[in-house]
Amino acid sequence: MVGYVEPHGRVETERLLEGLPRLPTLALRYRGVLRQEFDLDAALARRPHPAGGRAGSLQPRRRRALPAPPKRWQDVAELLAAGINVWTTLNVQHLESLNDLIFQSTGVRQRETLPDHVFDEADDIELIDLPPDDLIARLHAGKVYVGEQATAAIERFFRKQNLLVLREIALRRVADRVEAASRALPADRTQARIAGDRVLVAVGPDEQAEQLVRAGKRMAEALDAHWTVVYVETPALLRLSELQRNRRIEVLRLAESLGAETVTLDGPSAAATLASTRRCATPRA
């Protein structure tokens, strides 16, 4: 059952859908525009195997009383919880832990991201690898986007240098997945470690907090280490405005979504509190 496909006006995509059972879309008006969206309730009622899902934002629905529009990866979670298999695609630049790396490499900030655990918990990963020149040729031929949208994509994001970077990142991310699966296999005594590595990431209310969290996630993955994100609430930080102090909640939520343990400590200064915590936590022989 095809849950949702956005053909972007591509004749080839429409042709591939011929003869396949498709779930009727849900018409929603959002900011004065009528859009067709994936109908989660209809999919749950049909119980197809598998169903398709996406990673971007959904338009607000009555069925969910959330403070912000839900995400499509949350639809995937509901489908899986209902026992429905999901096949879907994902562009590597939308993984949350890679957000800063993608921005530094391409100059374009991705606004729509999904937690890495959605990727990590997938039963199977298949890399769709296309050389940059071939993808650029498809863009020029209108096989990815059509009209002015294709021209804007080529000039802004899908430049050859950007595509080379994205290709390398995708290859490394899949290689990390393979290595993680290998580490999960039973190890013999010569491979066993006495103690696991740990990564400690200290964050504050500044603009670099999210960047530090994502870098900590990548480092912990590379080291196969447990990682903790710590926020030290000092007297100086207590004098900040409520809006600035609430940054702590956003940063720690991000860390938890990426798999970190989060801790909030009180102390006279961040350095002294962290040093004291580290001394107390250091194992002795």
Closest Cα partner for 73 from 117, 27, 126, 128? 117
Of 105-119, 131-145, 161-175, least confident by mean pLDDT is 131-145
Q: Which of 258, 206, 262, 207 is nearest to 230 (CA)?
A: 262
Task: Provide φ and ψ at 157, rounded to 5°.
Answer: -115, -45
- Fill in the DSSP letter of residue 261: E
How far is Cα 223 from Cα 195, in angstroms, rounded to an integer?
Answer: 13
Residue 125 CA: distances (Å) to CA of 55, 88, 218: 16, 10, 19
pLDDT for 65: 40
Residue 130 in this model has a pLDDT that exceeds 80: yes
Look at residue 61 in the predicted model and tell me its pLDDT. 43
Round to whole Å and give the CA distance between 104 and 218: 15
Higher confidence at residue 69 or residue 115? Answer: 115
Whether the per-residue pLDDT at 247 is higher than 70: the answer is yes
Q: What confidence tens digit (pLDDT) does each residue in 161-214 have?
A: 999 999 989 988 888 887 777 777 676 544 444 456 788 999 988 888 899 999
Give me the pLDDT at residue 269, please: 83
User: Is the pLDDT assigned to residue 280 strictly greater than 50?
Assistant: no
In whole angstroms, how far apart are CA 4 and each of 136, 145, 261, 262?
25, 17, 35, 36
User: What is the pLDDT averaged over residues 99-124?
Assistant: 90
DSSP state for residue 61 in the 8-state scheme: -
Bigger pLDDT: 206 vs 284: 206
Number of Cβ within 10 Å of residue 201's Cβ equals 22
Instruction: State mean pLDDT over 267-272.
Output: 83
pLDDT for the residue numbered 201? 92
214 CA to centre of own chain:
11
Domains of the chain plus CATH, in order, are 1-89 (3.40.50.300), 90-192 (3.40.50.300), 198-281 (3.40.50.620)
Band the pLDDT of 93: cuts 50, 70, 90.
very high
Radius of gyration of the chain (CA): 22
Mean pLDDT of the 10-15 span: 84
Q: Which pLDDT band holds residue 229 (cuts at 50, 70, 90)?
A: very high
Mean pLDDT over 105-116 rounds to 89
pLDDT band at 99 (very low <50, low <70, confident <90, very high): very high
Integer distance in angstroms from the first to the last C-alpha of the chain? 58
| Span 15-73, pLDDT tens digits | 999 999 999 988 888 788 888 888 999 999 887 765 555 555 544 444 444 444 578 88
pLDDT at 153 over 90: no
Task: Name residue, tokens 């490394």.
Answer: 172
Mean pLDDT of the chain: 81
3-state secondary structure of 48: coil
